[in-house]
Chain A
Amino acid sequence: MGHGPAVKLGKDNAAGYKSKIGISMFAVYTIIYAIFVMINITQPELMLIQIFGLNLAVVFGLGLIIFAFLLALVYNYFCTRAEARLNN
């Protein structure tokens, strides 16, 4: 029927661990993103608070982008380590 991976993949013993850590990190990021959206909807005046000479809107927006990258790095680090530990 043509399903299954395009290339032959080996058994991944780290899949369960990676899934758990992925869900945890997803929850963390989702909560922070939700806080950002909810502040905009319910208390937009809070976005005018000054931090380092810039308002919270800009700092939060930049922070969300940079935090996403840092979280992705941490996730990749733990996943790579788990793959090395469990698949070799």
Chain B
Amino acid sequence: MIYAQSPLAIGLFLSFVLLVLGLSFYLGRRTTSSSGYYAAGGNVHWFTNGIAFAGDYLSAASFLGICGMIATAGYDGWMYAIGYLAGWMVALFLVAEPMKRLGKYTFTDALDSKFNSKSIQLMAAISTLVVSVFYLIPQMVGAGTLVTPLLGLPHYAGVIIVGVVVTIIVASAGMASTTMVQFLKGGLLLIFSTILVISVLFRGLSTTPENDGKPYHEFATLQANVENGRLIVDDPAYNVPANWRDSELAEAGFVKLTQNGIESIWHIQENPQGGYVLEEALFQAQLNDGTRIYNGAPAEEGRFFPVGHMKEINMGGETVMQTGAIGPLAFLRTIQDSTIVLWGTKHVLTPEGYYSIYYQKPTPGSHILRPGLKFKVDNATTAEKFNFFSLMLALFCGTAALPHILIRYYTVPSQAAARKSTLVAIAAIGFFYILTLFMGLGAMTNGVVNIMDNNMSAPLLALSFGVILFAIISSIAFATVLGTVSGLIVAASGAVAHDLMDNFFGMKMQDKNKVLTAKIAAVCIGVIAIYLGIVFEGMNVSFLVGWAFAIAASANLPAILMLLFWKRTTAQGVAASILVGIVSSLGLILLSPDMYVRYGLLPSDAPISFNSPAAISIPLSFLALVVISLLTKRVEVAEDSTENAHA
């Protein structure tokens, strides 16, 4: 609706997909062993693996979700980035080298290396599957979001395309092609995000931003007075319904006007000088006859405008209309000292249908560059503070427990290489997260945000500089999704084929058949991911990843850390910890207010008042491990490695 398809973007996108597929088939011909499929033969260079780590990690959540959240909620979106990066310190300092020492192909191998326990094999495999599927959901949602502006296809088509392409990639070559895709994508993402940020700084800030040469839609303001119960606006071209005051819209603070047969909705506020001020809003309506209109017209008429602009620019104590080229620190200072128009949302049910209305909220930059727009921190209730704390805990603890990140430690040849690749990942990811602050704020102030779906903010920011940059950034973003999804599917297929069928059920297969089983599992998991990607359409992808982190941190991290650092840990304790972590985190998510919205119920009816479960489920998981370990006896099996199991 606010996008137009570009042949160049489509061409680049298709070329990239064909390149990735060609690379996969080429590498696939060389992958016939389990070691090749699960761990790329264990001989990837640490620098390549480090950038591939970044490629794995800078998924749809980081590139699309964080930028989108910063573009609409400012600093609170960046809090996700800070938490995501902090999680790498857990991975580097505590997990990287021991995981390399203990494991072979999967995270389960490492956990089970000292016990040979059926219960660990089962629980760890289930955990890998659950976490991978939850992480797959936002990636698929991001894929659907991307394909709409690129190819003009509906969301579900994008999800299906990504699902099919990725399943082909994984089923053809496993970790070898996944690593190459991630390396390429991680490198390109860093390079072109830097170019995009430099472009934003070079353009500077303006109260009337241009979008690829097109002027920004000027949101109108009307003056109005009430005479004998009728609302009289100063522009006679607009018609006001006689019963304007008796509608559900009026109760929500809006009035519907008509001009040349087209309806528009206005935010009505009292004018301190007397009368009323009407500010133009945007709306999407699902009418009772099944039609959907965007700002009074069908989507094709393009009346739903991109948003986000500076209301007032204060630079160095002076008020200006535009800044011109600006340095990074001056950019942040100017945002902080100025006023920016953000957008609020209200949903109103009327006799004609269901209206989602987006209205202007001029906000001081000082509020945007501090927490509080998404997470309530000022005068917050205990539940709100707990929710924020719980999310930050999940982000901190989740990284080192993500199966698709953990398996990457098996692709390098040594412990030192595992450590060095983590260092490269931290440098690349940290640099990228600094860029996201500028990309998000750039989108917020350059009139590019689709307020109905902020996931596309970074690619649409690129579009404001021309279709070439948009085409490149969109292709990279699509590759971002491809790479991360393929890594997740490798991890999940390994859980099914290696951990469950091979180890747990003891189905002794030839190496070739093991790989074939993993590829069949990859196809099945791909189908599940496609279905879930369609179901969760419209949710911010970074928010969804927050759930995956919470489950991973609850189910996996206590088991990993206690195995490494507490000698009384038993197999039963590890299995109990994983089980309690999965059940408690998943249970709390399913009962959360945001899931109640998904069920079509009121969020206030949810039995718990917070969305992030980590602060409860992680301690429960630790507690289960300690208690069960103390109640059971540790039985170790002989190690087949010369390594120190405990660091």
Contacts and interface: CB of A to CB of B under 8 A. Distances in A.
Contacts of B42: 6-7
A45 B112 CA distance: 47
Contacts of A69: 426-427, 430
B214 to A, nearest CB: 32
B219 to A, nearest CB: 29
Given A37-B389, A72-B422, A65 B430 contact: yes
A73 B396 CA distance: 20
Contacts of A58: 75, 332, 336, 369, 437
Interface in A8-67: 9-12, 15-16, 18-19, 22-23, 25-26, 29-30, 33, 36-37, 40-41, 44-45, 47-48, 52-55, 57-58, 61-62, 64-66
Contacts of B647: 15-16, 18-19, 22
A6 B408 CA distance: 12
A78 to B, nearest CB: 11
Given A53-B333, A65-B430, A69-B430, A7 B43 contact: yes
Given A40-B377, A68-B88, A5 B104 contact: yes
A47 to B, nearest CB: 5
B119 interface: no
A62 B436 CA distance: 12
Contact of A65 (B82, B94, B375, B640): B82
Given A16-B644, A23-B93, A72 B385 contact: no
B419 interface: yes
A76 B78 CA distance: 27
A76 to B, nearest CB: 5
A30 B400 CA distance: 14
Nearest to A7: B42
A64 B85 contact: yes
B291 interface: no
Interface stretch (B195-203, B241-249, B410-418, B447-455): B410-418
A54 B370 contact: no
A9 B415 contact: yes
B93 A65 contact: no
B414 A9 contact: yes
B94 A62 contact: no
A15 B79 CA distance: 34
Interface stretch (B95-103, B300-308, B346-354, B547-555): B95-103
Contacts of A83: 416
A58 B370 CA distance: 7
A24 B237 CA distance: 70
Contact of B370 (A25, A26, A41, A47): A47
B510 interface: no
Contacts of B503: 1-2
Interface in B31-63: 35, 38-39, 42-43
A85 interface: no
Query: On chain A, which size bracket covers the interface?
Result: 35 or more
A57 B92 contact: no
A1 B643 CA distance: 17
B426 to A, nearest CB: 5
Interface residues of B, number: 76
B340 to A, nearest CB: 15
Interface string B552-570: 0000000000000000000
A83 to B, nearest CB: 6
B472 to A, nearest CB: 25
Nearest to A26: B93
Contacts of B419: 75-76, 79
A23 B641 CA distance: 24
B482 to A, nearest CB: 25
B641 A76 contact: no
Given A40-B377, A58-B75, A68-B430, A3 B423 contact: no
B429 to A, nearest CB: 9
A13 B503 CA distance: 31
B93 A75 contact: yes
Given A2-B502, A64-B86, A72 B426 contact: yes
Contacts of A72: 88-89, 92, 422-423, 426-427
A14 to B, nearest CB: 9
Contacts of B640: 3-4
Contact of B336 (A2, A45, A55, A79): A55
Contacts of B116: 1, 3
Contact of A41 (B86, B385, B434, B637): B385
Contacts of B377: 40-41, 44
Contact of A12 (B113, B415, B420, B637): B415
A12 B336 contact: no
B228 interface: no
Contacts of B422: 72
Given A2-B502, A4-B104, A5-B104, A40 B333 contact: no
B511 to A, nearest CB: 11
Interface string B307-339: 000000000000000000000010011001000
A50 to B, nearest CB: 9
Contact of B643 (A12, A18, A61, A80): A12
Given A1-B116, A4-B104, A79-B419, A11 B643 contact: yes
A59 B92 CA distance: 24
B273 interface: no
Contacts of B79: 40, 61
19 contacts: A2-B105, A3-B113, A3-B640, A5-B643, A7-B43, A12-B101, A15-B415, A18-B647, A37-B388, A47-B371, A54-B329, A62-B434, A64-B82, A65-B85, A68-B86, A68-B430, A69-B427, A72-B92, A76-B423
For the complex of A and B, 8 pairs with smallest distance between CB atoms? A19-B647, A22-B93, A26-B93, A6-B42, A44-B377, A7-B42, A57-B370, A3-B113
Given A3-B109, A58-B336, A75-B93, 11 more contacts: A2-B105, A5-B102, A18-B97, A22-B92, A25-B93, A40-B375, A40-B388, A44-B377, A47-B370, A61-B82, A72-B427
